[in-house]
Structure 1
């Protein structure tokens, strides 16, 4: 199990000589992508933390920061029930370890089943002087929650990539208003979602900065004022050159991984950390847009996505209807189980202490009424965040 995770991380991140491993991509390792194995995810989460804290210090500060933010983008794929994480944070005296609390903020409608919910990851620092982290997850494999939703957001035609996940979230704004500085990051689809959410986070009046990696750029040039935005692109990456436009004030760094054109590994440039390698060419957003926007790129952006959407939408609709119908029929069963569980907890607490039983009764009857005024006999109080 450890070997699988080590191979994956070494495929994403180059060694000291700037070379990437290709040991991970074997049929025997596909279980990490296809099945949601909590043990594998826990191992991935632990190894990510170790790698984050051990990124070589001989690299330039810019490259080191870029590499750290790149690896942070893979945290959403590694989570099971983790609620905290330790990250290296740059301070005046160098890097220090900072503790963060993890919370998931939904960007999809409540009607979708739990398996199709897409969440952006909000990391709140224990020390308010450290920047908060907002991680927008990229296209997810089948083993990750929201996999089909991210694919649909990639393919939804006649709009920018990620448009389905670009709407304003009041929960996200509420979280942002409590922070002093937020660093937004995203890879691939996550870059598209991050750019869209930056527009809404303006309203939180909080200091913002952003780092995006091989992002799926929007059709129209984003107008994001003077927010510092770094975009890191690997030369040859197919996604970041399909016809989207970068913010004009962004700094775009293009890295060459020096892979042979005939090598199958050139297909992996989309998920590899080229930003840690020295020698990237830099452009302004305006210069980069002139470089990549061609008729072929626009043709790819629209026609290929339309074909993919037509192929996947029937499967998605049928699957969604089946899940909703199953949930409707299972609701009485779940309701009865919840009542029985409440009754068992109450009896168990009463054996320990009558006061504890009374506390449970209050928590499970009075508080829900306060949170739902319509059921609370006119009590106009909301405890919902």
Structure 2
């Protein structure tokens, strides 16, 4: 998964129920466009540049891999959906909702219809004060000043009165009530992508399996009989070492831990790949190690059908994975599901994502978050 962009949007409303318009806007953006991870205090401010009713203004932080041009197109649709009608007359107008892109990381974007950072942001207190509330370590890439420094030199003397505070959709989830979430799935299921996205969006410590460093993996796909046992033993040792280290190292600045695997997967893959006598020896070692491993508070298994897995494997283009047979993937899926049925003391969530695309479709990602959140209760 590509690293997500951190985008700040400014929201404003001065027609009708202003608070309701802001709330509806935040919800629509989160459910349809990008993950809303932070929402500022709401301020009431006078209309800027024209005579009209005062505005409610706030700022939000969204995480997304989409381009700013795509975000612009989608927020214009949200404005229209909420009832904004853009008149042909020149100048500022009263509006039920206004959404502006203020910043994209610390990058500069200049196109015919988009300028980032917003060209007027440093002149408007109704943008700067909400943005300051977001607590971002952000520096304007053109004038090289922080938000606090921009506020100090801003000449806008408009009165900005605090009127309320919204909770971001991510904060409402309470995923921090888990200490440790493990996300599992077959090869190509999307577990690493989902774990990474949740970690970025929800302020979690991310633990990713170090499979790329295993020298036996490419050899195994070429000659399974010869390299299955050393591969599975090396994976077991590495998973034990990594999980022991990472789970023991508490991070004061993170709310919980999310990993894209757990030690359980070692037994599942070994049962499929090893001969019977090798597996008996392997399981003896596994049982000793397993006793020392903490259990996740939630174990999520992402199920995808074989055709979808093969398609995902082909798309990501790892050369040593391209010859994986469908039968092998089916055995792994059955192994996971059979094993999960036996774990009566494990908090398990199985989600069939065969028809979901949580990278391209924000609504699918929100669905997964809500399913995970429901397990808290």
TM range (shorter): under 0.3
Larger Rg: 2
